[in-house]
């Protein structure tokens, strides 16, 4: 580009001044767009704080209650007359410590989630990302009788992703699936990852829940579309912002036998793709 500018200036500077300005304006516009996009994700994250805060309170409640129970049990044992049952005491204190570490992990995840930071897309291991996100999102789902199946194409490993953000998408979809199942009789979630015809990886979350309410079907991925009493209607709009910033798309379809299947695509970088 520099060469053509040099030639141009000897041929007639005025003609090319416009050309150069156009280019920088275009670059500036692109830069602005990128800035806006990361800003948007940040705003979406911050506005999701309300939802996250209540989720966090809910999630922290479990380990905190467990810690209190173990510590009270230890106190009772200590106050007992007679010889101290050291093995029981040690077990109670050990379990309390484990629960405290779990509470710490929950808080750390939230901090990751709100931490500003550019969209950091790297090569990440998709099955591992799914596994971690599912552990977080499905805490307590087992106890509520929800069965979760994972069908991950074994040839899929590496994708290009901002790990925290894509995990947020998976967490949101899984939480919605759990909520949609509610008290329904058939209680199953299936998480799949497969390649699509365009060489992208398609991740899907299928549930046996209530299906999409026609009242929100058209605005499903828009902010503040919610049918839940406590819902802010931000989860899916954040999911869409994140997936699209990664060059993918996200959509929902009715699942066979009732329920819903949410799917999104993400770029893969497996050896097979590189060698092609």
Using CB under 6 A, list all residues that contact ligand ADP: 172, 176-177, 180, 207, 209-213, 216, 220, 225-228, 231-237, 260
How far is residue 253's CA from residue 221's CA, in Å, rounded to a whole number?
A: 13
Residue 240 CB, nearest distance to ligand ADP (Å)?
Answer: 9
How far is residue 261's CA from residue 205's CA, in Å, rounded to a whole number?
A: 6
How far is residue 207's CA from residue 196's CA, in Å, rounded to a whole number?
A: 21
Residue 256 CB, nearest distance to ligand ADP (Å)?
Answer: 14
Residue 225 CB, nearest distance to ligand ADP (Å)?
Answer: 5
Shorter beta-carbon distance to ligand ADP: residue 218 or 271: 218
Residue 206 CB, nearest distance to ligand ADP (Å)?
Answer: 9
Q: Is 145 buried (19+), middle (13-18) or exposed (0-12) by CB count in 10 A?
A: exposed
Q: Is 124 helix (H, G, I), strand (E, B) or coil?
A: strand
Cβ pair 107, 115 in contact under 8 A: no
Of 271, 224, 264, 230, give the one whose Cα is nearest residue 247: 264
Residue 101 CB, nearest distance to ligand ADP (Å)?
Answer: 29
Residue 59 CB, nearest distance to ligand ADP (Å)?
Answer: 16
Cβ pair 176, 200 in contact under 8 A: no
Shorter beta-carbon distance to ligand ADP: residue 172 or 268: 172
Shorter beta-carbon distance to ligand ADP: residue 220 or 266: 220
Shorter beta-carbon distance to ligand ADP: residue 51 or 268: 51
Q: How far is CA 258 from CA 179, 220, 245, 263, in A?
A: 15, 18, 31, 16
Of 253, 256, 266, give the one whose Cα is nearest residue 159: 266
Shorter beta-carbon distance to ligand ADP: residue 66 or 216: 216
Shorter beta-carbon distance to ligand ADP: residue 124 or 207: 207
């Amino acid at each position: 580009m520099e060469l053509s500018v040099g030639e141009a200036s000897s041929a007639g500077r005025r003609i090319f001044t416009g050309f150069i300005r156009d280019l920088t304006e275009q670059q500036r516009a692109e830069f602005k767009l990128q800035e806006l996009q990361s800003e948007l994700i940040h705003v979406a994250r911050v506005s999701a704080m309300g939802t996250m805060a209540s989720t966090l309170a809910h999630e922290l409640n479990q380990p905190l209650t467990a810690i209190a129970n173990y510590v009270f049990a230890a106190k009772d044992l200590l106050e007992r007359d007679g010889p101290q049952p050291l093995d029981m005491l040690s077990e109670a204190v050990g379990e309390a410590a484990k629960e405290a570490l779990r509470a710490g992990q929950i808080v750390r995840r939230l901090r990751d989630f709100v931490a500003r930071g550019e969209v950091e897309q790297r090569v990440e291991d998709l099955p591992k990302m799914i596994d971690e996100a599912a552990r977080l999102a499905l805490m307590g789902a087992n106890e509520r009788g929800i069965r979760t199946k994972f069908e991950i194409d074994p040839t899929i490993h590496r994708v290009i992703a901002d790990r925290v953000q894509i995990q947020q998408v998976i967490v949101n979809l899984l939480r919605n699936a759990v909520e949609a199942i509610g008290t329904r009789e058939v209680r199953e979630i299936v998480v799949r990852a497969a390649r699509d015809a365009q060489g992208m990886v398609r991740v899907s979350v299928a549930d046996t829940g209530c299906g999409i309410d026609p009242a929100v079907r058209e605005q499903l991925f828009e902010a503040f579309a919610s049918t839940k009493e406590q819902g802010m209607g931000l989860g899916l709009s954040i999911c869409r912002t994140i997936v699209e910033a990664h060059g993918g798309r996200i959509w929902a379809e009715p699942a066979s036998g009732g329920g819903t299947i949410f799917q999104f695509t993400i770029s893969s970088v497996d050896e097979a793709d590189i060698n092609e």
